[in-house]
């Protein structure tokens, strides 16, 4: 279990989280910025570096998400994300107070075959192959944001609860996986209390709260992946049995229950994408950027085919081989597929840290655009805060590489330790576990060196 510190012991925090105003108020704030981003995309300047939609979505929001929220607060972005807001409010026929009766929808059943994150994996890849275009063109970003919101609303008409967040949202997929590493969790204090409590208010809802919109029973919650931190269960529980805890990083990575191939692939896809983006976007090769930027359709098709092949075949294939060797040297009796799935969770810290390292490269260098864009979000010549003329000023460009090396080394150590502890779940002796860890550590070291080659070599 490890160390836990219950944050909700603080009366003011608990009162805040139990308040029905808390979540909608934050969602309304983010919805305002979301709408500004969409409007800036459609009606603002096409120059990305002077457009609120590009700078605040792909630099400010992205940095906040991947560097702060996910590692420290898990799915906290999902608490305040505006995308599912309109759909959810439509279902509930209200924004703040609990409206009587069951949320309205056509109550279709989400197909059993899609009750996993495969859709999110393919959705992420679909966005990723267009990412060079999306990241640099305000209009395309606006269409993407609007499209996601419309999809959320549409799904909320047909399906109850947050089907969009749980099974479709391409961002939610990786936030869920990476929240396994985070230092915050929402859990029940005593599982036995939940077992004996027959009314299950957290699932069904009460007069003042809704049943879990993420379709999770908090009493069974052992991992952060599918808990959207909406805090409805905290509001509903009459036994005061739900808590928000601080805990050691990576705790959930050792929970064997719930590991699956879709999540394993998500770990591999995210790792491969971090490497590919580091090469394509931050590398010196103009022709790759041209291909990714859809200079011609055949070139983009070749780029997309290569991108998908690396994500779906090459990196998973190399990791499969690594796992097969690990199985052999560790004398593990499990099928390779099972071990492939389990060991993939050791890639989660490396992947998250790889994304943070990648993000440092452009957040530090291009973050200063945010200051001028705040004053002139549409690029129309406004000067709302008097900061429009603040020049582009790269922040610590000479220090970024050192920070990246330090981060990658932390990721290597963290992931190797997780790999060893996963190995111990499948071996009889510590020596077998150690032997089995060696190939996985070699794979992780290889990934680290590729990152370093791209950043420093």
Partner 1 sequence: MKRDRLLSLAPFVGLALVILLIPLPLTVKPVTHVVTMTADQFAFDPPVLRVNYGDRVRLTLQATDVVHGFYLDGYGIETRVEPGISQQIEFVADQIGKYRFRCSVSCGTLHPFMIGELVVNPNLTFARAVGLTAVILAGTLFYLRRFPPREPREHTTA
Residues engaged in binding partner 1 (CB under 8 A):
46-50, 132, 136-137, 256, 281-287, 289-290, 293, 332-334, 362, 365-366, 392, 394, 397-398, 400-401, 405, 408-409, 412-413, 416-417, 420-421, 424-428, 430-434, 437-438, 441, 444-445, 448-449, 452-453, 455-457
Nearer to partner 1, 90 or 334 (CB): 334
Question: Half-sphere exposure of 376 toward its Cβ, with a 13 Å CA cutoff?
Answer: 17
Distance of CA 260 to the CA centre of its chain: 17
Nearer to partner 1, 30 or 375 (CB): 375
Nearer to partner 1, 29 or 47 (CB): 47
We find the least distance from the C-beta atom of residue 304 to partner 1, in angstroms, to be: 17
Nearer to partner 1, 59 or 153 (CB): 59
State how far the Cα of 393 lies from the Cα of 201, in Å rounded to an integer.
Answer: 53
Cβ partners under 8 Å of residue 286, min gap 6: none
We find the least distance from the C-beta atom of residue 164 to partner 1, in angstroms, to be: 30
We find the least distance from the C-beta atom of residue 265 to partner 1, in angstroms, to be: 21
Nearer to partner 1, 10 or 393 (CB): 393
Nearer to partner 1, 16 or 449 (CB): 449
Cβ–Cβ < 8 Å for 128, 274: no
Nearer to partner 1, 58 or 118 (CB): 58
We find the least distance from the C-beta atom of residue 124 to partner 1, in angstroms, to be: 20
We find the least distance from the C-beta atom of residue 305 to partner 1, in angstroms, to be: 21
Query: What beta strand segments (E) does 214-260 contain?
Result: 242-246
We find the least distance from the C-beta atom of residue 378 to partner 1, in angstroms, to be: 15
We find the least distance from the C-beta atom of residue 351 to partner 1, in angstroms, to be: 17
Nearer to partner 1, 121 or 415 (CB): 415
Nearer to partner 1, 101 or 286 (CB): 286
We find the least distance from the C-beta atom of residue 314 to partner 1, in angstroms, to be: 22
Q: Is 202 exposed, middle or buried (0-12, 13-18, 19+ CB in 10 A)?
A: buried
Reference 253, options 171, 179, 187; nearest CA is 179
State how far the Cα of 433 lies from the Cα of 120, in Å rounded to an integer.
Answer: 33
Cβ–Cβ < 8 Å for 85, 37: no
Cβ partners under 8 Å of residue 320, min gap 6: 336, 340
Cβ–Cβ < 8 Å for 231, 23: yes
Nearer to partner 1, 13 or 409 (CB): 409
Nearer to partner 1, 312 or 410 (CB): 410
What distances in angstroms separate CA 371 from CA 53, 366, 392, one per listed residue?
14, 10, 9
3-state secondary structure of 5: strand
We find the least distance from the C-beta atom of residue 285 to partner 1, in angstroms, to be: 6
Nearer to partner 1, 102 or 424 (CB): 424
DSSP assignment string, 344-365: HTTHHHHHHHHHHHHHHHHHHH
DSSP assignment string, 305-353: HHHHHIIIIIHHHHHHHHHHHHHHHTT--S-HHHHHHHHHTTHHHHHHH
We find the least distance from the C-beta atom of residue 63 to partner 1, in angstroms, to be: 14
Two structure tokens written together for 176: 């869920």
State how far the Cα of 326 lies from the Cα of 336, in Å rounded to an integer.
Answer: 9
We find the least distance from the C-beta atom of residue 358 to partner 1, in angstroms, to be: 12
Cβ partners under 8 Å of residue 337, min gap 6: 261
We find the least distance from the C-beta atom of residue 359 to partner 1, in angstroms, to be: 13
State how far the Cα of 216 lies from the Cα of 234, in Å rounded to an integer.
Answer: 13
**What does R_g of the chain's alpha carbons equal in angstroms?**
23
Two structure tokens written together for 109: 């059943």
């Amino acid at each position: 279990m490890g160390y836990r510190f219950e944050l909700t012991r603080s009366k003011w925090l608990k009162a805040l989280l139990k308040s029905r105003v808390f979540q909608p108020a934050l969602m309304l704030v983010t919805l305002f910025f979301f709408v500004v981003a969409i409007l800036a995309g459609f009606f603002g300047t096409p120059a990305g570096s002077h457009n609120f939609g590009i700078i605040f979505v792909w630099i400010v929001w992205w940095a906040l998400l991947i560097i702060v929220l996910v590692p420290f607060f898990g799915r906290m972005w999902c608490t305040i994300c505006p995308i599912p807001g309109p759909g959810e409010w439509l279902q509930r026929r209200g924004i703040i107070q609990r409206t009587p009766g069951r949320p309205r929808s056509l109550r279709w059943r989400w197909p059993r075959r899609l009750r996993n994150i495969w859709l999110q994996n393919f959705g992420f890849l679909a966005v990723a192959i267009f990412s060079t275009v999306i990241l640099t063109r305000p209009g395309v970003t606006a269409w993407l944001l609007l499209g996601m919101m419309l999809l959320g609303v549409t799904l909320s008409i047909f399906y109850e609860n947050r089907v969009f967040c749980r099974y479709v949202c391409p961002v939610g997929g990786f936030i869920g996986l990476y929240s396994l590493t985070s230092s915050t969790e929402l859990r029940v204090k005593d599982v036995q209390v939940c077992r004996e409590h027959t009314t299950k208010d957290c699932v069904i809802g009460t007069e003042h709260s809704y049943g879990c919109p993420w379709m999770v029973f908090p009493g069974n919650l052992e991992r952060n992946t599918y808990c959207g931190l909406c805090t409805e269960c905290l509001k509903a529980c009459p036994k005061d049995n739900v808590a928000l805890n601080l805990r050691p990083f990576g705790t959930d990575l050792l929970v064997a229950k719930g590991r699956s191939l879709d999540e394993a692939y998500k770990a591999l896809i995210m790792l491969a994408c971090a490497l590919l983006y580091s090469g394509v976007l931050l590398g010196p090769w103009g022709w790759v950027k041209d291909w990714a930027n859809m200079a011609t359709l055949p070139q983009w098709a070749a780029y997309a085919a290569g991108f998908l092949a690396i994500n779906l075949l090459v990196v998973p294939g190399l990791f499969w081989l690594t796992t097969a060797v690990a199985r052999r040297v560790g004398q593990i009796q499990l099928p390779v597929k099972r071990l492939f799935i389990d060991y993939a969770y050791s890639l989660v810290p490396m992947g998250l840290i790889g994304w943070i390292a990648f993000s440092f490269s452009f957040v530090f260098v291009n973050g200063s655009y945010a200051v001028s864009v705040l004053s002139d979000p549409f690029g129309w010549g406004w000067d709302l805060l008097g900061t429009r003329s603040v020049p582009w000023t790269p922040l610590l460009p000479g220090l970024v590489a050192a920070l990246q090396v330090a981060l990658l080394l932390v990721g290597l150590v963290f992931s190797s330790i997780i790999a060893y502890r996963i190995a111990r779940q499948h071996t009889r002796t510590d020596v077998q576990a150690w032997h089995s860890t060696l190939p996985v550590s070699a794979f992780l070291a290889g990934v680290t060196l590729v990152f370093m080659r791209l950043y420093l070599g």
